[in-house]
A = this chain, B = another copy of it.
C-alpha cells in the first residue's frame, strides 16, 4: 500500500468511480452495490457512514439521509486490483429503497446446468 490510508492506490474507472460492495459485517449478507468517486470514499472513511455517487442524479447521497437507514461503516477493504471496495457495515433497517432487507431479493437468473 503506497499510502497509510490506502487512497493512493485505488483505481477508478473512466467515469472516476469505483464499485463498493456493501456487506453486513456480522451475518455477511451482501446488502447492495453502490458507486463511489474519490470524494465519496473519503467521506465514507471520514464520517463512518456510507456515501455514494448517484450516477442517475449526478450527486452525492448519504445512505439513510432521508430514510434513516444508515450504514455504520466497520471496515473498508480493497481488492487485489484496487478497483473494487468491500465495505463492511452495520445496517440500520432495510438496505433497499424498496423496503427489502437486501437489494438482492428481486429476482434470479435460472441456472440450468
Determine if A29 is an interface residue (Cβ-Cβ < 8 Å).
Answer: yes
Q: Is the interface of A mostly helix, strand, loop or mixed?
A: loop
Q: Which residues of B contact A84 (CB under 8 A)?
A: 33, 103
Q: Specify the chain B residue showing the minimal Cβ separation from A96.
A: B80
**Which chain B residue lies CB-closest to A19?**
B19
Least Cβ distance of A83 to chain B in Å? 9
Number of copies: 2
Name the B residues within 8 Å of A33 (CB-CB). 19, 21, 79, 84
Contact (A104, B79) CB under 8 Å given A27-B28, A86-B30: yes
Contacts of A91 in B (CB 8 A): none
CB neighbours of A45 from chain B (8 A)? 109-113
**Residues in A lying within 8 Å of B, measured CB to CB:** 1, 4-7, 9-10, 19, 21, 23, 27-30, 32-33, 41, 44-49, 73-82, 84-86, 96-98, 100, 103-113
